[in-house]
Structure formats: structure tokens, C-alpha cells
Amino acid sequence: MIDELTLGGAPFRGSWAVQRGLLTKPVLRGPRYRRLFPDIYLLADAPADLDARSRGALLLASGRCVLSGYSAAELLGARCAPAGTNVELTVPGGDLREQPGLTIHRDQLASDEIIDSGGAPVTTALRTAWDLARWLPTVEAVVALDALARIGGFAPQAVLGIHGRYPRARWRRRVPGVIDLSDPRAESPMETRSRLVLVLRGLPRPELQYPVYDELGVFVARLDMAYPWCKLAIEYDGRGHLTAWQQESDARRLNRLAASGWSILRFTAPDILRTPTPRPPRSAKPSPAAPDARRRELDTSDVSRPAKVAGVEFTALPRIRAP
């Protein structure tokens, strides 16, 4: 086990480890290690998350390159990358080419757009936000900008400073629209997606992290999204709301809000991402209630049928790509 003690849980070059006698080629190619990229390995028990794969890609490049895009966002702590996303590197030139799991960008980078994060060169939060605003579809671009602006402590409009430096950059026309939709008060990617479900269908922009007080001025709760003029709140329930303790806390909180005259709409990931309900196999015999259930399913997915809650009209949710 001396090799594992020496190499640790970080990615390493297999040829380097073999040359130094830390392990042999058969061991390297066995079940104890996993191959991330050509000649780049990681302990099989270590998580091959985006952070580890990004650091492995730096070893592969072994030259002048910078982690960018989702890789930079991950190392900066934004946590907005979809599961299994590619490592992203920005390189000025050279022979390094894209391969499975690795995306290469050939862009200009100013010296003040690069910082060190845990020993790895990454683009700054501002530059990363500008890059992702150009590269991603609108919804995911706004998700990334919200997260990076929140952890970077800058207003979304600050990205325009980077925007003005590169008047000929590809896809730069997308950036102003992403900035306009961004709001770093969103506390998670799914909260951003929840907000965009409303805004992109033409509803007014909700107030975010809205504090509610009772008639005596006592604090009642803080709402993810709110329309104070009609006392309507929209909240996203993530996995943390599934625990018994959290459910009890949520029930008490909802009772206090109801006593203050608020209506609450609560959504989960399948609601926001429009994940379809699994249907029974064709061979299964329908139960007596199946026709009614089928009609309810069709009514729910009918994008033309509006619904009114607390006097506010909501249309069916648009499809948003899952992370």
C-alpha cells in the first residue's frame, strides 16, 4: 500500500509513478486505479468528480493552460455544473486536442483574468461568468451567472467590464440577455431555474429572499420567491426537505405563513424540470381508476390550460433541461 500512501487521492501521471517504482504497469491497469485521461490516473476509491478530473487535465496539458468554464466555477466554489460535465481548459495554442471528457477553448486571457485556486490556475469568477454566459443555453447560463456572482460578490452587470474587452468574441451577443435575467440572491441552481420558469413565461419578476413579518412586526419567515402584492410565495423543495425533522419544521413554517394570509406554491425537481411520470407497461391491465388518472395526466401536461392561484394566472411550466 506504499504507493497509495505516496500518491494520495490526487490524480497522477502513471508513467511518472512507474518510473519511480511506486507501482508497476499491471497494478496501474488493474482495479485499484481508474484512468481519467491518457497516462492520468486516480485511485479507484477516490471520487472522480469535476474537481479531480480538472486537476488531472492540468497534468495532461503539462503546459500553459488555464481551467475555465464549469471547471473554473467548480474550483471557485460555485457548484453549478451539471453532473458528469466535461473538464474545460482554455489554451492559447499548441497541440492539445479535445477528447472524451475534455473540452478545449482557444481564447485570449488577460493576466488579471487568471487566479490560483488550490494550486490550480483558473479564470476569475468574472471571466468565468462571462465565458459561461456566452457558451451555455440561456437557462444554464443564468444559473451559472447567479452562482458565480453570489460567491464572487459582484453584481451581474460587472461582467460587462470583461464583455467590453473582446468586441469580436464568439457568441458575445448572448451576454446582455443573460445579465438581464440574472439575480445573485438565488441561493441554489434550482432556485434560479424555478424563477426562470416564471419569468420566461412572461410573469412578473418575483422578489427573492423576501422577509415576511406579522401584524406586530415579528419575523415570520423568509421566502425564496414572493409576489407581495397578492401574498403569493413560490418555493423550491430540495432533498433537504425530505427529512422528518425538516418536514416538521416546514409544516410549522407554513402554518405561520397561512396565519399571516400568505398562499404558498411548493415545487420539487420533477416539477421544475418537467420530468414525466413513468407509465405502466403496455401489457399491464388498467385498473378501474386508470381512465381518470390518464385524464388528469393529460390535463397536467396541457401547455395551453392556465391555472389561477390566489388570483394570479400561471400557465404550464416550460421544459428546462435537467442538470
Judge whether residue 82 has pLDDT over 80.
yes
Share of the chain above pLDDT 70, in %: 80
Summarised one tens digit per residue, pLDDT across range 163-206 is: 999 999 999 999 999 999 999 999 999 999 999 999 998 999 99
Q: Where are the domains of the chain?
A: 2-46, 51-181, 189-277+300-314
Architecture category of domain 189-277+300-314 in CATH: 3-Layer(aba) Sandwich (3.40)
pLDDT in tens, 285-304: 444 443 333 333 323 333 33
Distance from C-alpha of 279 to C-alpha of 133, rounded to nearest angstrom: 37
Q: Give the span between the Cα atoms of 270 and 276, in whole angstroms.
A: 8
Query: Which 3 state secondary structure label does DSSP give 124?
Result: coil
Place of cell 416564471: 198
Set of cell numbers at residue 238: 430540495
Question: Is residue 276 over pLDDT 60?
Answer: no
User: How far is Cα 174 from Cα 68, in angstroms, rounded to an integer?
Assistant: 18
Confidence of residue 323 (pLDDT cuts 50, 70, 90): very low
Lowest average pLDDT, out of 62-66, 120-124, 128-132, 282-286, goes to 282-286
Evaluate if residue 277 carries a pLDDT over 70. no
Instruction: Name the residue among 183, 225, 185 with its Cα closest to residue 203.
Output: 225
Q: What is the pLDDT of residues 129-151, one digit of tens each?
A: 999 999 999 999 999 999 999 99
CA distance 318 to 92: 39
Distance CA 39, CA 230 (A): 60
Contact call for residues 71 and 63 (beta carbons, < 8 A):
no
- pTM comes to 0.79
Q: What is the pLDDT of residue 271?
A: 82
pLDDT band (50, 70, 90) for residue 267: confident
Q: What pLDDT score was predicted for residue 320?
A: 41
Higher-confidence position of 320 and 168: 168
